Amino acid sequence: MKHYDKNLKKENTDKKLLVRAGLVAICSLILLFVPIILAVSLPMKDWQKGLLVFSGGIPAIIGLFYAVELERIAGFYVCKNCGEKYVPTRKAMWFSLHLGRTRYMQCPNCRKRSWQKKTLKND
């Protein structure tokens, strides 16, 4: 019972982490694109446009790094081939194709590549 409670607690924490990852990613994309749109559409000097894009782009990149890190540590990815559940490395997260939260990665257990789904359950 105690073990079950612990899993459930981690599951809830991970759910919150994923929601936060999504929010951070959306805010980062807004920060990235709004200054670019403004720079293109408003009459400004080039250095002002540059500064505007730069001031949005830097926090946006930091935000995206943070969002991917949150997504990485929340829950597990499940290998389609052998069913291994694992937390991928940072390198695997950044250099993998993804559709939403499903990623094309190599399993650390059977070494096969497949589209792996995120799960919050560890049972």
Helix, strand, coil % in the chain, rounded to nearest 5: 60, 15, 25
Q: Specify the stretch interacting with Zn ion by CB under 5 A; choose among 21-29, 38-46, 81-89, 94-102.
A: 81-89
CA triple 43-46-48, angle to 5 deg:
80
Q: Is 110 an interacting residue with respect to Zn ion (CB under 5 A)?
A: yes
87: DSSP letter:
P
Sign of the C-alpha dihedral computed for residues 17, 21, 22 and 27 taken in this order? positive
Give least dist CB 88 to Zn ion, A.
12
Q: Which of 25, 107, 116, 118 binds Zn ion (CB under 5 A)?
A: 107
Residues 28-67 that bind Zn ion (CB under 5 A): none
Q: Which is nearer to Zn ion, 23 or 82 (CB)?
A: 82
- The token pair at 57 is 């782009």
Q: Is 11 in the site for Zn ion (CB under 5 A)?
A: no
Q: How many CA atoms lie within 13 A of 79 on its CB side?
A: 17
78 binds Zn ion (CB under 5 A): no
Residue with smaller CB distance to Zn ion, 39 or 107: 107
For Zn ion, the binding residues (CB under 5 A) are 79, 81-82, 84, 107, 109-110
